[in-house]
Amino acid sequence: MSVVNILNGQVVTCVAFSPNGSQIISGSYESVRVWDTSTGAQVQQFNGHTDWVTSVAFSPDGSQIISGSHDKSVRVWDASTGAQVQQFHGDTHSVISVAFSPDGSQIISGSSDESVRVWDASTGAQVQQFNGHTGRVTSVAFSPDGSQIISGSYESVRVWDASTGAQVQQFNGHTDWVTSVAFSLDGSQIISGSRDKSVKVWDASTGAQVQQFNGHTHSVTSVAFSPDGSQIISGSSDESVRVWDASTGAQ
């Protein structure tokens, strides 16, 4: 196991693995860094943001990296050279969450301006804007087939048609900010974590709540499915990571 150290005592706000697992990206104040997973050595540093980097992600083929920032921009970087390929402007407040579509052709961003935006990854053109949330959008993700987008905000999770921008579903039930959302690998379920300390599982097609996991004693900050969909993990401000049985809700 290697330990990756960020110099100068900077807080790390977000991390992600490359698709092949050989590299890790991290976001911090004004910079994005790329690390060798096996050695912990820094491979690249991307400078250009003028405020905290809030979200980072690799493209599906690992050739590009995206970053969102409090400086209101989304940037696309060449993973091998560190060159900035694109910069997307349009969000009027902090960009909080970014993600690539499964085929890498589009990028989504969730912002404090209460919008979800879809961008053409190659041209930087804005393709769609989804409005409806009444608070900052804290987390966004594409469905595995790229046909839908989910977004989390205050007390609700919304599902959007990626091509038309129409709202398909709205999941209500959380009693505080939704902090993290994710699709299952087959796209049939959606999970959400919230400051209300709970993790909820939703049926993606009907919007029905399937499970609720209680156990965290503080805000849930991040959630994810296991690759086979049988388990769910959640991270929390209570300093714990919990693993749940997706079907039974047992910890």
Give the CA distances from residue 206 to residues 186, 209, 212, in Å, rounded to whole numbers and listed in that order: 15, 9, 16
The answer on pLDDT for 34 being more than 90 is yes
Give residue-wise pLDDT tens across range 79-117. Answer: 999 999 999 987 788 999 999 999 999 999 999 898 999
Q: How confident is the model at residue 5 (pLDDT cuts 50, 70, 90)?
A: low
Q: Which residue in 50, 46, 104 sits closest to 73, CA to CA?
A: 50
Give residue-wise pLDDT tens across range 123-158. Answer: 989 999 999 888 899 999 999 999 999 999 987 899
- Sequence-distant (6+) residues with CB within 8 A of 25 are 15, 16, 18, 32, 33, 34, 35, 56, 57, 58, 65
160-176 burial, b at 16+ Cβ within 10 Å, e below that, comes to bebeebeebbebebbee
Joined together, the tokens standing for residue 148 give: 């839908």
As a dihedral over the C-alpha atoms of residue 153, residue 159, residue 163, residue 164, rounded to 10 degrees, the angle is -90
Tell me the average pLDDT across 19-26.
90
Joined together, the tokens standing for residue 176 give: 């505080």
Strand 220-225 with 231-236, pairing = antiparallel
Count of other CB atoms within 10 angstroms of residue 65: 26
Give residue-wise pLDDT tens across range 171-215. Answer: 999 999 999 999 999 999 999 999 999 999 999 999 999 999 999
pLDDT of residue 239: 82
Q: How confident is the model at residue 32 (pLDDT cuts 50, 70, 90)?
A: very high
Q: Which residue in 123, 146, 124, 138 sits closest to 73, CA to CA?
A: 124
Tell me the average pLDDT across 52-72.
95
Q: If residue 96 lies in a helix (H) or strand (E), which one and from where to where?
A: strand 95-100
The answer on pLDDT for 229 being more than 50 is yes
Q: Name the region of 85 (left: φ>0; alpha: ψ -120 to 50; beta: rest).
A: alpha
Q: What is the pTM of this model?
A: 0.88
